[in-house]
Chain A
Amino acid sequence: AQKVTQAQTEISVVEKEDVTLDCVYETRDTTYYLFWYKQPPSGELVFLIRRNSFDEQNEISGRYSWNFQKSTSSFNFTITASQVVDSAVYFCALSEGGDTGKLIFGQGTTLQVKP
């Protein structure tokens, strides 16, 4: 069965600190997709990144970076030089291949960035 685990329920950092959000997944599929979403207090989930299982290259987008390691079934998300506006709930999600549209979400990690 597919499963996504975000072991960190809440993280609190001070502005400008780097922070890494962990995501571990389970799947039997060889083709799958991983996602990260941000949910600010307004409630709307904002898409951050999509990665397929055949692309293990790490990705950097501004202050955001993602480390995908199939060997450990992890897809971790790092925010460099965090800012107060980064405060939100972050969700990691997994989708099996075959375009079923089903996303399995982790429990989410609440990140609080203090000024």
Chain B
Amino acid sequence: ETGVTQTPRHLVMGMTNKKSLKCEQHLGHNAMYWYKQSAKKPLELMFVYNFKEQTENNSVPSRFSPECPNSSHLFLHLHTLQPEDSALYLCASSRKGGASAGASYEQYFGPGTRLTVT
């Protein structure tokens, strides 16, 4: 496997279900991200992890729970979602230059999980 992979690619779940999205990066990066892409809206950053530590939570509802066990894997645990949570969920990874470097590196994206909440 190369690049960033995401599973499943498609997911249909009811509002009472619990499911998890998985992301894995094979690029040796140490920062990982979750984005939400809804129709007619720009990409919304949800969470940022640097060296397995969460450094950004963009006011995401608690029904979305991220987990980053190591720098290569990122999960998004879902429970009691609402129909408006239906969207494409994208995972990305990047280098991290460190606080002193000041650089912002490009992010590489996975193919996304198309989530439908019924």
Contact = CB atoms under 8 A, between A and B. Distances in A.
The answer to whether A binds B is: yes
Interface of A: 31-33, 35, 37, 42-47, 50, 52, 91, 95-103, 105-108
- Do most interface residues of chain B lie in helix, strand or loop, or is the interface mixed? loop
B109 A45 contact: yes
B43 A105 contact: yes
B104 A107 contact: no
B104 A100 contact: yes
Contact of A44 (B31, B42, B55, B112): B112
Interface in B43-79: 43, 45, 48, 50, 55-56
A101 B48 contact: yes
B42 A97 contact: no
A50 B92 CA distance: 16
Given A43-B114, A46-B109, A102-B45, 18 more contacts: A35-B106, A37-B109, A43-B111, A45-B92, A47-B108, A91-B42, A97-B104, A99-B97, A100-B55, A101-B48, A101-B56, A101-B107, A102-B48, A103-B43, A105-B42, A106-B42, A107-B41, A107-B42
Given A42-B111, A44-B111, A99 B48 contact: no
Interface of B: 31, 33, 41-43, 45, 48, 50, 55-56, 88, 90, 92, 94, 96-99, 101-112, 114
Contact of B109 (A44, A97, A99): A44
A43 B39 CA distance: 12
